[in-house]
Structure 1
Amino acid sequence: MDIWVFMDYLILGLGWVLFYSSHTFLATLNIKRKIRSLLKGQYKWYRLAYSLFSSLFFLALFLYAGSIPPIWLFASGPGSTYLGFMLATFGTIICVKSMRDVSVSRFLGLRPQDDLSENEPLVTDGWYGYMRHPLYAGLILIFMGYFLYVPNLSSLFHLAALLLYLPVGIYFEEKKLLTLYGRRYARYQKEIPAIIPRFGK
């Protein structure tokens, strides 16, 4: 591998580390409380700024990956392409259906508010009745599908970064949820698996 291509992939990997680190760091309760004390009344816009920052960072990583000379890991054929489409489609369906159970405007910050003063309702219905993190499950399928459709090293980096991040992301997210919802979330955590759904009792 050419040294410059190696550096491109190194930057891509570091970009994903920075993206997921900032994603978790900026969502922790302690950091949000410190930011609220600084912004005061303007904190109501924090969630929207956070969503825009994450979305633009995410898009920038994919655009950067597209600029790297591709290293193909295997030749895509009709079978892998079809399976990739199926996985990505099913992952998208899971993400869309799971978002029906939450307020999208509140989730994205389109409805300005102080989310530290008013907790969102704990959603345990729909896809959340089968797994605690259906959005993550959907993203795994989407990234797997993308890798099968575009089987190059960049796509593998995207998938590997997500899979490596999930245990860490889930740990910190659930630590926050236990603080917010206490025993209700602890009981839900014991009854419902994190990502791999359990459809039967």
Structure 2
Amino acid sequence: MSHLILVVLWALFYFLHSLLASLNIKRKLQGKMGSAYKWYRLIYSFSSSILFLAIFVYAGLFESKMLLNSSPGLTYLSFLTAGLGTIILVKAFKHFQSMEFIGLAPHEDLDKKGDLIRKGIHQYVRHPIYSGLILIFLGYFFYLPTLSSMIHLVALLVYLPFGIYYEEKKLTALFGEEYKKYKEEVPALIPFKTKKAA
């Protein structure tokens, strides 16, 4: 039952993540919130972080079946995988306005489009944050190979096609042909193309 609740919590988290980031919902909230909408990003980031952490805390409260036998080799692989994922995340955030991304610098994100980021690691994958998270979740599973950590990883992998679809729908609406061209040139998660985006 505990594992089923964990699955439901992840489904709720990812559903809210996509719903509250959609342009239609943002525009409706902007109309209702008025000038206070500039704080929406901060509220969104804070509530998402709390729910994200709460899911991991909940998973730690009950005993979960071990799926693999722990070993020094598996532990080494976990640090290597999660470390690489962390490096990718850091490189991905390098070209964002961090304070605006978190919401600590209040702004109207529907009015201020900004530039499409195509430099750094974004030359090789369109969604490096997701790529980094996959590796971190995989590393966590290698470190603690339980059914709970497998659920964390599988829930992310199941969500990603939907999350990417809705995110790219939003980015196409914002950047139009520029994003369509970028999408054709650069893969989503795995840098299997060596050609850099222009």
What SS is found at the alignment partner of 1:60? helix
Q: Using the alignment, how far apart are the partners of 1:120 and 1:79 within structure 2? A: 45
State percent identity of aligned pairs.
Answer: 52
**Equivalent pair of 2:124/2:194 in contact (CA under 8 Å):** no
Is 2:122 aligned against 1:134? no
Q: Using the alignment, how far apart are the partners of 1:89 and 1:41 within structure 2? A: 41
Is 2:135 aligned against 1:146? no
**Structure 2: tracts of 5 or more residues without a match:** none
2:41 corresponds to which residue?
47
Is 2:177 aligned against 1:178? no
Is 2:21 aligned against 1:27? yes
Report Cα offsets for 1:136-183 as digits up to 9, x if no partner. 000000000000000000000000000000000000000000000000
Letter matched to residue 139 of structure 2: G
Letter matched to residue 135 of structure 1: I
Choose the corresponding residue for 1:168, options 162, 173, 179.
Answer: 162
Q: Using the alignment, how far apart are the partners of 2:163 and 2:35 within structure 1? A: 29
Is 2:97 aligned against 1:103? yes
Letter matched to residue 96 of structure 2: V
Letter matched to residue 90 of structure 1: L
**TM-score, normalized by length of structure 2?**
0.97
CA shift at 1:74, angstroms?
Answer: 1.3
- Give the 4+ runs in structure 1 shifted more than 4 A: none
Choose the corresponding residue for 1:75, options 58, 64, 69.
Answer: 69
**TM-score, normalized by length of structure 1?**
0.96
1:65 corresponds to which residue?
59
CA shift at 1:120, angstroms?
Answer: 2.4
Report Cα offsets for 1:26-79 as digits up to 9, x if no partner. 000000000010000100000000000100000000000000112111111011
CA shift at 1:199, angstroms?
Answer: 5.1
